[in-house]
Amino acid sequence: MSRAILQVMISGRVQGVGYRAWLESQAVACGLEGWVRNRRDGSVEALFAGPPNHVADMVALCRHGPPSARVDSVTSETASTDELNLRRAGETFSVLPTV
């Protein structure tokens, strides 16, 4: 079974609107591993790992976000297991501190 790991940057009105909690819920429902965090520049950064089609579906969901969000852009790039290991020990999907 193949596995994809993508790091995603989401910009727009994505902080203070429940985006991280929404994204965590969606990722867990899709059976993905990874993490999400706010960035000081106002964007949200996430990493998703799992079956390629599930990861692609999650990136597509990021383009919409929760109802109160306004997503201006979503970019993604391949990531490694090293980045995946930023999540908290014992958690499948983590909400990390702002960087």
Q: Which residue numbers are catalytic?
A: 20, 38
CB–CB of 9/74 below 8 Å? yes
Count of CB atoms situated within 10 Å of the CB of 13:
14
Buried b (16+ CB within 10 A) or exposed e, 49-62: bbeeebbebbbebb
Query: How many helices and strands in the chain, by DSSP H and E?
Result: 3, 5
Q: How many CA atoms lie within 13 A of 45 on its CB side?
A: 16
